[in-house]
Amino acid sequence: MSLSELKGWKNIPIGGVINDAGNSEKYETGSWRTFRPVWDPGKCIHCLQCWIYCPDSAIQVADGKITGINLYHCKGCGLCATECPDKVKAIKMVEEASFE
């Protein structure tokens, strides 16, 4: 490709632009995590603090109650476990290697 065939700066798309809303659902983003959340439904009081703070929308909720964690999108940041009330601790972070 010659220099004259390259696009100029006015013809290159702006970085960070999301052209298709909702396209993040198409991509698996949880495959590189080091730790994964493990949810104990028996301890959970469904306060939804984990859901509020999850940056990946990985906490699954139906009818105002937590139903699980979508590990396809979870990146293992641990915010869900951190925000779970101290008296409850229904979510713990476990090293991903222990599941292999």
Give the per-residue pLDDT at 20: 74
What averages of pLDDT result for each successive group of 10 residues across the chain (100 residues)?
A: 76 71 72 93 97 94 97 94 97 86
pLDDT of residue 34: 93
Amino acid at 71: L
C-alpha to C-alpha distance for 74 and 51, rounded to whole angstroms = 12
Provide the 10 A C-beta neighbour count for residue 60. 13
Would you state the pLDDT for residue 50?
A: 97
pLDDT score at 4: 73
Ordered structural domains, the chain, with CATH:
28-99 (3.30.70.20)
CB 7 within 8 A of CB 68: no
pTM of the entire structure? 0.73
